[in-house]
Structure 1
Amino acid sequence: ITSATTATNAARRQLERSTASAAAATTSTSVKIAELTAALSSVSHERDLARSALRREQKLREVKCTAHDELQRQLDHARSEARVAEGKRLRRVRAGRGGHTRVPTTCKPAEEGTKNDLSGGYTTGTLSEIIEGPALADRVAPVQMSAAA
């Protein structure tokens, strides 16, 4: 009986040590699990932040491209309008109707036999010739030349 009691006590002590060791291991494992969970949560949060930053960057890139496309479209339209206006101006110049300024070239009936007779019955010439006749043009020309000198 003494021997059995001693063996039982020894087994009980061994069981208590094993239980304490297992409890310590469980506590250590629980701490490790908590640490890993916190680390995983931190990594997930950082991943979410990185995804959010990437989405913002993509949106900014899209806005930039859209703005660039709109500006390019406006520039192309302005260039097209400028080409059309230049073409019209060149056609007027080639037709003898002047460049940037437009002076009416058909104003009043011409007198037969004058230098302004175009056989269509209309006078052409400078604005002063059309309004006042050649006499004013003779008076204005010397003044312009003296002002230029």
Structure 2
Amino acid sequence: MKKAVTAKKSSATKTDGASPSRMIDGRIRELGDWRGEMLARIRGLIQQAVPDVVEEWKWRGVPVWEHDGIICTGETYKEVVKLTFAKGAALDDPAGLFNSSLDGNVRRAIDIREGEKINEKALKALVRAAVELNASKKKPAKKQPA
């Protein structure tokens, strides 16, 4: 019996049978304002930067993008859309996108307010750098006994 293969696997718990990608679609629709539009735009930029990115839905409603580990999360608040990079403190940010969570030793975030522009080129570079960092930290597969 052949097993179905999907392009983007997900290990996150599914809610009501919906995939994480559909849950993110739902969040974007549910917001129905600039925050939903911004989340959709950020999502598209992440997908352009890393076409085989895996979308997850974690912590009871947070969109998460992964590739060999978490790249970033996309949280929405009343005043901001917050893009938090899991290992942001280890990433070079020559364009100065990080503007939040700057005191921590691990994470860094980008708070985007209504009407603000996104430096798309710099954001894609930051996403790709996060993927490269994750890949460099990936543990090699264990050898199977002969």
TM range (shorter): under 0.3
- Higher relative contact order, chain-length normalized (CA < 8 Å, sep 6+): 2
Greater gyration radius: 1
Higher strand fraction (1 or 2): 2
TM-score by structure 1 length? 0.21
TM-score by structure 2 length? 0.22
